[in-house]
Amino acid sequence: MNDVHIKNIAENRKARHEYFIVDTWEAGMVLVGTEVKALREGRANLKDAYAKIKKGEVWVYQLHISPYSHASYDNHNPLRPRKLLLNRSEIRRLAAKTNETGHTLIPLKLYFKNGKVKLLLALAKGKRKYDKREAIRRRDAQRDLERAGRQR
């Protein structure tokens, strides 16, 4: 009945290692035609991307969308700032939470949802080095337990 068709484009896998994810929001994006066509080819990189709130609007920076391969003279700038579409109340809530020390906005995932480009935006708090080491230690221990269980 309520078919939601989702197709992943890009994911920031390192973000979960570098940050504690506090909360997430789904946002639309304002894009030009060649950007959408390049995204359909899967040509995006979220690695260094981050978001900021300026004058009551949320913008994403350093989101690299490669130029569309079949475009001629009118191609887009790959690293231009892109506006995110969120409700005013969501933007107010984000602004209040990002003013707390150590919180930042990080894009986690870029995907198509029913033909529209969506960005999963996370409110995140940076991890310290010892937090990252602890997470790696826990993951290795879990992997060893699963291996031992399979060998029995």
What does the domain layout of the chain look like in residue ranges?
6-127
**Position 86: which residue type?**
L
- The Cα-based distances of 128 to 105, 124, 140 in angstroms read 17, 13, 19
Prediction pTM value: 0.76
Where b means 16+ CB within 10 Å and e means fewer, 30-46 reads: ebbebbbbbbeeebbbb
Q: Give me the helices (H) in the chain, please.
A: 15-18, 33-40, 88-98, 129-151
What is the per-residue pLDDT for 107? 92
Q: Extract the residue ranges of the chain whose pLDDT is less than 50.
A: none
What is the per-residue pLDDT for 2? 63
Query: Which top CATH class is 6-127?
Result: mainly beta
Residue 101 DSSP label: T
Residue 87 DSSP label: -
What is the per-residue pLDDT for 97? 84
What is the per-residue pLDDT for 142? 87
What is the per-residue pLDDT for 61? 92
